Structure 1
């Protein structure tokens, strides 16, 4: 007769110290002393306060059982907040940060120990949490939703090691007054306001009653962002971060805190037949006060003029004494042909989808736009950028043909768009990344940044090109600027992978791996970050991390080979190429 197994439902908290091996390698005795002090002064008292039971501890982690999911999450948040404030006077490299995972599930009790999927899932969730962050399962989220003062970010379906099916996961953080301990490290909780007046333009509501017109409403907002960003005295949040609020009911004060801006512009677009109506209101995010609101009506062919009126009104509300020359500079439009503009907007809607098929559609739309208006520099630049996406994602069918096509589009964009920062930035990066013309590419990107220092994409491109050219510290500086201009960017994993490259080519392989893992927490299927995690892990001697990245690459493509990545980065310094090739060799992938 089988012995009866003792089971119960419990909330399980798993925690470990991020970067523990590095900390121990640098200062073994100091790390142990700091960790012991943290346990005694901060962590253990919080667990006791929230009625938790420490089941076991390891050198760098612990497993804790709670009778309530609410207690478990509140305890985790307070631990992370206390840990963040406990090291403010210490150099960042000596900080101790926990990763925490929480799951509610069935566990098996054996003496004082616990086992089962409930424990395993909590441990796997801890593995995908940010340093200083908290990751909870969907089961835990359903138990605590609406019962705490804590906010949650949906991480979507996550594939967890040795867990048979993907699981939905959530980041937990305080709803207000959060610290860096309870938010992802890549999403700062309390951004300092820039010295310049700062603004975010939220997606305008599509009031047309036709979902097919969504692209038009988005395009209107993108043009307003572009116009505002040309104002060198303004700090303008990039489109990708602003659009994370699309379709959501938002608290303007919270938007201001999360994006680090003083002003927020919101509004709506109604397109009916040949008529367009744009409404807008400018709000001071510090106190919620409405500074300006207006409505603009006109015919469809007047849409550019309507956008100009909105932009000029916003500028006037922020700085009434603004010189007229600056207003006129903001009115620059990429084309005066409405049909070309419409194809361009469709292409922009396609490219943000990020799939291979959508990339093909985007390229076709941009090419149609340039057929109608051969002088449409921005559309030529976006055509070139489609080839960047194709190379970065391994979608290139004919390398020679596509490289030539990318260079033709980029050269046209550069020739026609001498004063168009978007065209110049896209063209410059296509020349550098696809055609391997680093000097011409860098020069175009520099010109784009001189024209528009608010263009987050240009700072991202500049960071990559500086890494290719062998200037890793300047690369990191430019990539950090891109992150500040677009702190909630859904494509932030691309920026983070640029930081990976910079650290890797500076010989800082541990830092490179840490940033690659950060990028992969945002997008676990990003092949460029996976290969950089593999080569960084190989050269750092962190073979378990190397093998994990290689295994994921093989899951995504069973035929993956070194040849897939050998020529992906156009590197100037022979030593950088040699280091990358050595890392590839050590991954164990077939040639």
Structure 2
């Protein structure tokens, strides 16, 4: 039973592209020993150690698990879970999934706390990268802006590696879509230079190709070029979740809803424990809007907001889904949330940002926001 739990958790954690998980066969040697955390970490080169115990009673099992950070010998997560042995025999064990999901998010949260309290030169590169990925998607502008310094530190340390530059390209996209860009033209040029530099180092890097695709999508509004780059990303690595997510979003903007839904679903299947889960669900809601599946768009948007209530595009997607279901009072209430997180938004600024402003999808979504009460550029609500 213990082996089933360990194998299930390891398999789920290994599906994440951002965590390197050590095989159970390598860790089994420490089972039943009194070795302390430092010894385990030193032998395995592990930054975190997941340990625990279980008690079986007939067909039921109680599991106690804890996750410790090797750097300071501190427990950062612990829980007690109960379930059935039958569940552990399933390929998609609920208990193993719960443990893996909790461990995954605990690691990312710990790395964010670590980089916020330590000077950059003292931090290991893996801490910087994991922390930057999570911090980039935090809600405050100050934390978001700090991420750029972290990524630039990684670029300085690892000049030949594409990943930090690719994530920096993604940073520019998020700054625009959150309404924080002060100069779109400058940001577009810097973002493209960043992704070009990443691809110079590795022309087949899926992350760099996907990031450049989204740069063309959001910063240049060139959906055809964006799609070619995203297609190249998933051809280079068919298991690259962000490549599929961005490809699906581009197809959603272009109005190919069926393809968009397929591609964003593929993305979520490939990264079920992603620290940016809210982002995956938010863009999947956009895909569902394009496919005219408004109930699914609402469900995905609400699920995304449960993880991050400060992402403006999710509130916009929910507003649009409610309008298209004829639920106007709820849509107006939701739009108030849009204005809270993005107070400068108007119909005109929305269309100015959106890469599909000249397409049917963009015009329809702008009309829905206006019907919910979003003001036009002169401060009056635009009604159609």
TM tier, smaller? 0.5 to 0.7
Two-structure CA RMSD over aligned residues (Å): 4.0
Matched, 1:409 2:245: no
CA contact (8 A) 2:282 2:300 kept: yes
Structure 1 Cα separation of the partners of residues 12 and 238 of structure 2: 14
Matched, 1:362 2:147: yes
Q: Unaligned regions of 5+ residues in structure 2, if any?
A: 1-7, 23-35, 40-45, 49-74, 82-86, 104-120, 377-384
The residue matched to 2:13 in structure 1 has which SS? strand
CA contact (8 A) 2:128 2:154 kept: no
Match of 1:446 among 221, 231, 245: 231
The residue matched to 1:247 in structure 2 has which SS? strand
Match of 2:13 among 200, 203, 206: 200
Match of 1:247 among 70, 73, 77: 77
1:374 CA drift (Å): 4.1
Structure 2 Cα separation of the partners of residues 487 and 447 of structure 1: 23
Deviations 1:445-485 (A, max 9, x none): 22322232222222222211221232211111111112222
- Greater helix share, structure number: 2
CA contact (8 A) 1:259 1:487 kept: no
CA contact (8 A) 2:134 2:275 kept: no
1:347 CA drift (Å): 4.3
Structure 2 Cα separation of the partners of residues 440 and 414 of structure 1: 16
Equivalence for 2:47: 217
Q: 1:390 to 1:258 in 2, by over 3 A?
A: farther
Equivalence for 1:479: 264
CA contact (8 A) 1:476 1:502 kept: yes
Structure 1 Cα separation of the partners of residues 163 and 220 of structure 2: 19
1:500 CA drift (Å): 2.3
Under a length normalisation based on structure 2, what TM-score does the superposition of the two structures give? 0.63
Q: 1:425 to 1:258 in 2, by over 3 A?
A: farther
Matched, 1:532 2:314: no
CA contact (8 A) 2:254 2:359 kept: no
1:204 CA drift (Å): 6.6
CA contact (8 A) 2:210 2:243 kept: yes
1:564 CA drift (Å): 4.5
Equivalence for 1:489: 274
Q: 1:439 to 1:580 in 2, by over 3 A?
A: same
1:386 CA drift (Å): 1.0
Matched, 1:501 2:331: no
Matched, 1:464 2:249: yes
The structure number with the bigger radius of gyration is 1
Q: 1:508 to 1:370 in 2, by over 3 A?
A: same
State the structure with bigger RCO (CA 8 A, min sep 6), 1 or 2: 2
CA contact (8 A) 2:264 2:287 kept: no
Match of 1:581 among 363, 366, 373: 366
1:381 CA drift (Å): 0.7
> How do 1:49-198 residues align onto structure 2 when only pairs under 5 Å count?
none
Structure 2 Cα separation of the partners of residues 423 and 217 of structure 1: 27
Structure 1 Cα separation of the partners of residues 38 and 148 of structure 2: 27
1:560 CA drift (Å): 4.4
> How do 1:227-376 residues align onto structure 2 when only pairs under 5 Å count?
247-248=77-78, 253=88, 257-258=93-94, 342=124, 345-353=127-135, 354=138, 355-376=140-161
Structure 2 Cα separation of the partners of residues 349 and 532 of structure 1: 28
Structure 2 Cα separation of the partners of residues 396 and 249 of structure 1: 41
Equivalence for 2:116: none
Deviations 1:73-113 (A, max 9, x none): xxxxxxxxxxxxxxxxxxxxxxxxxxxxxxxxxxxxxxxxx
> How do 1:380-399 residues align onto structure 2 when only pairs under 5 Å count?
380-399=165-184
1:387 CA drift (Å): 0.8
Under a length normalisation based on structure 1, what TM-score does the superposition of the two structures give? 0.43
Structure 2 Cα separation of the partners of residues 372 and 352 of structure 1: 20
Deviations 1:388-447 (A, max 9, x none): 221232221222211211111122222322232222222322332333233333223223
Q: 1:387 to 1:207 in 2, by over 3 A?
A: farther
Equivalence for 1:87: none
